[in-house]
Structure 1
């Protein structure tokens, strides 16, 4: 879990090209590679795609497990409205690097509300949903049965809130990445596929940790 099993930055960029990222970003392969030219070639970091370049909902189908593509749950059509929470700064760059990713297995069966202050106390920041998808694009093996993770840096602000409300009121859902059981609206054909779903911020789940990184660099 120390990131040393990750491909190098260049290897990750090559893989993103093969998966069709340039086309999703409406640019040519050379132009896409130029975006990554300043990222170096270290091992242990994740190449993250800024949602302004390619949104999370378009990244999700590039995930693959057991021969099945990833997907976003049917009742999360508003995924693009989920934004970084206060205190999480995303580099203003189309591609950037996430350092020292951790899945947060030790916090399985914690709620997002409980996990966030603990992650912060450790000097780390949680992943956004786009960053979580990018981690699995670089290292699919991080998604395992009973060892999946939430991406609690992404929350949707509520459209309306009382004027007396301090701060920004948030939708109660928090995005997560796990493995579909092929039931309900998922459909049997999606059994075993990587799934972008959501959980309530106050609920606990025994199979979900809380992914975080030490820092983000552009």
Structure 2
């Protein structure tokens, strides 16, 4: 566990309180999730056929707990390609506008972030992630502090690909000041050490290099391993099912 208790907000928002009592959006069935991926042309058919995706989802639905997330392995569908399929509706000058997801410009190596040791991703083109938690109670912790705390709970941090899949299937899992990091993915340098960047998914404010046209869009970016952010929890899973 962290050596000291990180500072947290004095008064949680109504949204955070709702999450604490099980208020996260419920995922549809795994077969319905597969149909969404197909309807939006998320999965290249030359990489994974529609029949194979449907068959895998149907098989997982018989074994994985209800409320699980369907994930296409990043070797088939890399995070950089998946991020562009994210959608989120925001309000601009009183009008509802749909924004597409994107990867920040200084993370061109997003697909090189791989599961860290101890994060056992099934060796299957399609698998399920059960018992999802956004980790709101760890908001304002650093990844360095959160990683051992998640392990102590007997849970595993989500990978970047898993986090993006979650937002794709359930856009409302991202809320203002209630977003999450995916520290199950790290970038290993040639010398064996880890890059200090850790991936996260949150909502763009439309400032800086994001551009005002991306205000309110789902954003795949990164934060430093030892930095804290009040709006970022740490997403995790109870189990993965091949």
Q: TM-score, normalised by structure 1?
A: 0.92
Q: Provide the residue aligned with 2:36 in structure 1.
A: 15
Task: Give the secondary structure class of the aligned counterpart of 1:36.
Answer: helix
Task: Give the secondary structure class of the aligned counterpart of 1:96.
Answer: strand
Q: Provide the residue aligned with 1:71 in structure 2.
A: 102
Q: 1:147 to 1:188 in 2, by over 3 A?
A: same
**CA-CA distance at 1:4 after TM superposition:** 7.3
**CA-CA distance at 1:148 after TM superposition:** 0.2
Q: TM-score, normalised by structure 2?
A: 0.83
Render the CA deviation track for 1:133-166: whole Å, top value 9, x for unaligned.
0111121111000000000010000123xxxxxx
Q: 1:123 to 1:116 in 2, by over 3 A?
A: same
Assess if the C-alpha contact under 8 Å between 1:157 and 1:169 holds in 2: yes
Assess if the C-alpha contact under 8 Å between 2:25 and 2:173 holds in 1: no
Q: How many angstroms apart in 2 are the aligned matches of 1:139 and 1:117? A: 27
Assess if the C-alpha contact under 8 Å between 1:24 and 1:54 holds in 2: no
Q: How many angstroms apart in 2 are the aligned matches of 1:104 and 1:25? A: 36
Task: Give the secondary structure class of the aligned counterpart of 2:213.
Answer: helix
Render the CA deviation track for 1:11-60: whole Å, top value 9, x for unaligned.
11111111113336544422432333321165310001110111000000
Q: Provide the residue aligned with 1:56 in structure 2.
A: 79
Task: Name stretches of at least 5 consecutive residues in structure 1 with no aligned partner.
Answer: 161-167
Q: Within the alignment, does 1:173 sit opposite 2:197 as a pair?
A: yes
Give the one of 20, 27, 30 matched to 2:51.
30
Assess if the C-alpha contact under 8 Å between 1:25 and 1:53 holds in 2: no
Q: Within the alignment, does 1:109 sit opposite 2:140 as a pair?
A: yes
Q: How many angstroms apart in 2 are the aligned matches of 1:108 and 1:22? A: 32
Assess if the C-alpha contact under 8 Å between 1:179 and 1:192 holds in 2: yes
Q: How many angstroms apart in 2 are the aligned matches of 1:189 and 1:177? A: 18
Assess if the C-alpha contact under 8 Å between 1:24 and 1:58 holds in 2: no
Task: Name stretches of at least 5 consecutive residues in structure 2 with no aligned partner.
Answer: 1-18, 90-97
Q: How many angstroms apart in 2 are the aligned matches of 1:127 and 1:177? A: 11
Assess if the C-alpha contact under 8 Å between 1:65 and 1:193 holds in 2: yes
Q: Provide the residue aligned with 1:164 in structure 2.
A: none
Q: How many angstroms apart in 2 are the aligned matches of 1:24 and 1:156? A: 28
Q: Provide the residue aligned with 2:69 in structure 1.
A: 46
Matches within 5 A, 1:57-206: 57-66=80-89, 67-160=98-191, 168-206=192-230
Question: Which aligned segments of 4 or more residues in structure 1 are displaced greater than 4 angstroms?
Answer: 1-4
Assess if the C-alpha contact under 8 Å between 2:130 and 2:237 holds in 1: yes
Q: How many angstroms apart in 2 are the aligned matches of 1:50 and 1:28? A: 14
Q: How many residues align?
A: 211
